[in-house]
Structures are given as structure tokens and as C-alpha cells.
Amino acid sequence: MSNKEQNYREFKEEMRVIADLGHTQSVLSWDQETYMPDKGISFRSQQLGTLSTIAQEKYVADDIKLCAQSVSESYGEGDDEKINADLYLKERARQEKLSPAFVGRSTEVTSAARHAWQQAKHDDDFRAFAPHLEKVVVLLRERARLIDEARDPYEVLLSEFDEGASIEQIDMIFADLKKELLPLYQKTQEAPTINDDFLYEGVYDKQKQLDVIHKVTSLIGYDFDRGRVDLVEHPFCTTFSPDDVRITTRLKEDDLTFGLWSSIHEAGHALYEQGMRSDQYGMPLGAAAGMSIHESQSRLWENIVGHSLDFVERILPDLQKSFPEQLGGLSGMDVFKAINKVKPWPIRIESDELTYHLHILIRYEIERDLIGGMLAIEDVPEVWNAKYKDYLGIDIKSDREGVLQDVHWSLGCMGYFPTYSLGSLYGAQFMEYAYKSVSGLEDDLKCGRYDTLLKWLQENIHEHGQRYVSNDLCRHVTGNELSVAPFVTYLTSKLKNIYNI
């Protein structure tokens, strides 16, 4: 073995150990959310802290840095080995700008904020949360300054979730979205209303819902030999290895849609993670390319595939067998229309495919202005409610259903929300290109052969890992810059069909 191969082998071995520790933390966190008894929390937190500390020590150790530097110098441009080493060195450099003291302080501020948020939401009292939000904003401004003083602070935060995104791009995209979606929204609200009552009537037995979820997520290619589904309070997808990617869901007895389609969403994330190269375990080339691309996969399967008429017609017989009372006499078109109904609603995670982006837009405008110092903490609820009235025509009745509904800010995540919208746009643009370039794709989807699409996504997106940042990947795959056009075209066509507008 040559010297450079030996170096790479050592680098890879160190990265494997760090990944093992990271995935182990994921197992502990998954268990905490699914099965852990109540009183286990205190020692569990301690154990998670221990694993995190050991992993971090290994990540910033001198030997792995030297190894990676040698690899970077001895391999050529475009070699996987050099790409992995360079991506590691870049991420390490970013992390080194945040001192252990700053990281420790961040954990303190966000732990307290998370706790206060939960209580404030319960008590419907934004003022109790306000001092914590203030601290979070100050902390995040400092974080951005530490990472890159020269760059717009909000953009720095954004780039932690989506390396390719810029303020300029986001502003342009949201301006375009606003211009397109607001009139479309108006038209749907003026059209005759759609009946979706049956989705929320009677009792949707939870075990039957779970059986349907198994069947439907298997149908789109989620591999239960390398995954499983469990029940939690807040659904998520988690990865223990490419061969063990788990989804979670929450079931409501009075709502068919939430459990099923949020499971398809999580399965979309899981398909991405199951599609990573096993031989790149622990390496940047074996890891997801940021949150926007992750969301492109989940939202593509949930919405573009999962909310299509073909898909609904395919799964309806199973749904009708499980829930004959509610769904017995309905056509695929009835259900298709109901699950795509556009309606004003205060809660983001329960909103439809169109208004969803108005929810995100509101959050983006507020958090950008908070970080930029253009908006005072105490004015946030008022601004929030005014924007909901303005964009969606909704009167927000309480902070609980308004500004306190999401956990993100309390966790110190600002710059995260835009990745949801970017995900939808990337998904639509990937899909538009796939339709053009994959022969027979439209027929295959009509006939329930979802593996054609999955294989294309694996080869064109999943298997690249972090080789490209989001906008480079988009250019590489579709030949074009990200634009709102594919999404707007797709959604307009669908809603025209539904609302006859």
C-alpha cells in the first residue's frame, strides 16, 4: 500500500469511529423519543453528553487533521479521497471558530429557551418566552460573527443548514413565490369549496392506520429490512447506518391525513439516507447534502408523488378496505381533491401545499429582521399576526396557535425555515427534469412502478452525498439554476384541475 493510500485508510478509520459515535447518539435519542421510561431522562442526557464530548475530541484531534491534510495534498482534484478530506477540513475549520466555551454557553441558552418555550406555549404567554428569544438572537448574531465576520449574519446561519444558499437567492425566490402564490391562493378561496369532512370524521383506528403506513411506504420503496416505523410525539427520521434508517409517526384517531402523509414525508427522508453509499460510511460523500436537498426528497415523495391523483387512486382500495365507513363510497378524485384542499389555517405543519410557503415566508421575514436588528423582540407577535392577516387572511387568536407554534427558534435554529421552501422548489425542479429525461417515467408512476423514480434519485442525487452543495447539485442534475418556475407550474396545473380555475 502506498503512503497516500495508507494516509487515506487512517483518515477513513478515524472518520468511521466518529460516525459510529454519532450514530450511537442517534440510537439513544431515538430510544428517548420512542420507548424510554420517564425517569430515564437524567442519566440518558448524561450519556448523550459523554458520547458527544468523545466524538468532538476525536473530530478536532491533531492526528486526523494531519492525515486529512496529507490526503488533500497527495490526491488529485476530483478524486473522492481529496473531496472527503477537503470537506472534512472545511467543516473542521468552521467548528474551530466556535470555542468550547461558546458551544457550552449555546447549549445552556438553548436548553433554557427550549424549556421556557414549552411552558410558554402551554400557558399561551409569549412574554414569558421573550427574554429567552432575545438571548437566542444575541447568541446567533455572535455565532455568525465568529464563523464569518465579513458576511451577512443571517446568511451565515442559513449556510449552516444549506451550504449553497444565499440571502440574494432566498430574497429573489420568496419575492417570486409571493408574486405567484398570493393570486393563486386568492383564486382557490373564491372557487366553490371542496368537501374534506370525511378525512376528519369518525374514528380512524390507529392499528389500521399503521398497517396502511407500512404498506404505502413499502410501495414507494422504503425498505423495512433496513428500517422500521415507531410512534412519537413529533415525527422524525433518523439514521443509524445506511442499513438502518428509521421513521417515526404520530397517529390521530380523528384525522387520516396527518399520520399517513407525514409518514410518506419521513419515508422520503429515509429513502435519501438508505440511498447513501455504504462504502462512504462516515465520510462527507456518504452524508446528506444539507437540509434543502433533504427536504427536496421528503417533499417530492409526500407531495408531488403522494398527493397526486394516480397515487391516491392506487392506495384508495386499501384505504377503503381499512376504513369502509368513512371512505366507502368515494372516488379517487374525491380523496385527491380533499387532501389537496387549499385553506387558511394557522398551523404550519397542518397546512396545504400552497399556503405552506406563506407560513415559511412569514417566518423568514421575521427571523431575518430579528437577526438584522430591524425588529424588536416584543413586536414579534404583533408582526406575526399582521402578516398572517395580510398573506393568509387569518386572525390569529392566541400565541400558542401563532408565534409560539414552532420549536425551531427555541433550539437556536434561525435560517432553517427557508430550507423547507427551497426543498419544495428543488423537488419540483428535479421532478420536472426527471419527467423530461427518464423515458417511461410518467407511465411507470401511473402504474405504481415507483422504483424507476427512486433509482433515478439514487443515481443522480443520493449517491453524490456532499459532492455538490445544493445549488451546484441542482445545476449538475437539471442543467439550470434553481427557480420557482417548475414548482409554480406544477402546483398551478394541479390546482387548476382541482378548482377549475
Q: Return residues touching its own copies (CB under 8 A).
A: 16-17, 20-21, 23-24, 27-28, 31, 35-40, 42-44, 46-47, 50-51, 54, 223-228, 230, 240-244, 281
Smallest separation, CB 275 to its own copies (Å): 14
274 and 227 Cβ atoms separated by less than 8 Å = yes
DSSP designation for 450: T
What is the b/e burial string over 27-47, where b = at least 16 CB atoms within 10 angstroms of the residue's CB?
eeebebbeeeeeeeeeebeee
Considering the complex, state which of residue 49 and residue 131 has its C-beta at the smaller distance from its own copies. Answer: 49
Q: How far apart are CA 286 and CA 117, in angstroms?
A: 35
Q: Would residue 155 show up in a list of annotated catalytic residues for this protein?
A: no
Smallest separation, CB 19 to its own copies (Å): 9
Q: How far apart are CA 229 and CA 30, in angstroms?
A: 11
Q: How far apart are CA 363 and CA 348, in angstroms?
A: 10
With both helix axes pointing from N to C terminus, report the angle between 451-460 and 256-274 in degrees, rounded to the nearest 10. 50
Widest CA span in the chain: 72
- Residue 244's DSSP bridge partners are 241
Which of 14, 266, 295, 432 is labelled catalytic?
266
Beta strand ranges found along 111-231 (DSSP E) = 229-231
What does the block give as the cell for 439?
423515458
Q: How far apart are CA 182 and CA 187, in angstroms?
A: 9
DSSP designation for 39: G
With both helix axes pointing from N to C terminus, report the angle between 355-372 and 126-147 in degrees, rounded to the nearest 10. 70
Considering the complex, state which of residue 31 and residue 382 has its C-beta at the smaller distance from its own copies. Answer: 31
Q: Active-site residues: which are they?
A: 266
